[in-house]
Amino acid sequence: MESASCVVELANAADIKPMLAFWRSIPGLGVGRGDTESSLKAFLERNPTTCLLLKINGCLMGTVLGGFDGRRGYIYHLAVHPDYQGRGYGKMLLSRVISQLKDLGAPKIHLFAFGDNHTAEGFYLSQGWEKRRNIQVFSWDTSEDMPPEVIPSGEENI
């Protein structure tokens, strides 16, 4: 799979702008408010061995970000340019990031995909991933006001 024209390399801060542009071009992949240059730079610094780029003939054609919090591994933005999908590049990137996360000690790895991204769902299921139906994802937008702090009854001196 990897040849002189196809290389997988570690992502670095100089790759952030091209990665953002790439992700915005991929149908079904979400780029959210958390995907800022500064947050991605911090992510790359915290996870230097698990953020990978696929370059074909020197052009960015795939990405995957892996993160490890000491308890679980997480995979974000696994993407391959549509012209190169179905050729094994996604499997290769997924295999490499899983290997890196395992080396860091991750006993389990999670990833998120939009519910209507049937391409991603089919891909992950075909790779043996389990679609969890027993958990839900809840999110808190930190730009929102926090609810008022509640002090448990009888604990006013906390």
pLDDT digits (tens, 9 = 90+) for 112-150: 998 899 999 999 999 999 999 999 888 888 887 777 777
DSSP string, 12-65: -GGGHHHHHHHHHTSTT----TT--HHHHHHHHHH-TTSEEEEEETTEEEEEEE
Cα–Cα distance, 54 to 90 (Å, whole number)? 9
Q: Residue 80: name the closest of 56, 106, 99, 58 by CA.
A: 56
pLDDT at residue 149, rounded to an integer:
77
Three-state DSSP class for 115? Answer: coil
Using CA atoms, how far residue 137 sits from 42, 66, 93, 107, 140, in Å, is 23, 19, 25, 20, 10
**Is it the case that residue 156 has pLDDT exceeding 70?**
no
How does pLDDT run across 15-53, given as a tens digit for each residue?
999 999 999 999 889 899 899 999 999 999 999 999 999
Contact criterion met (CB below 8 Å) for 63 and 22: yes
What residue type is assigned to position 139 of the chain? S
- Give CA–CA dist 141/135, Å, rounded: 20
Architecture of domain 6-126: 3-Layer(aba) Sandwich (3.40)
pTM to 2 decimal places: 0.87
- Structure confidence at residue 1 as a pLDDT band (50, 70, 90): low
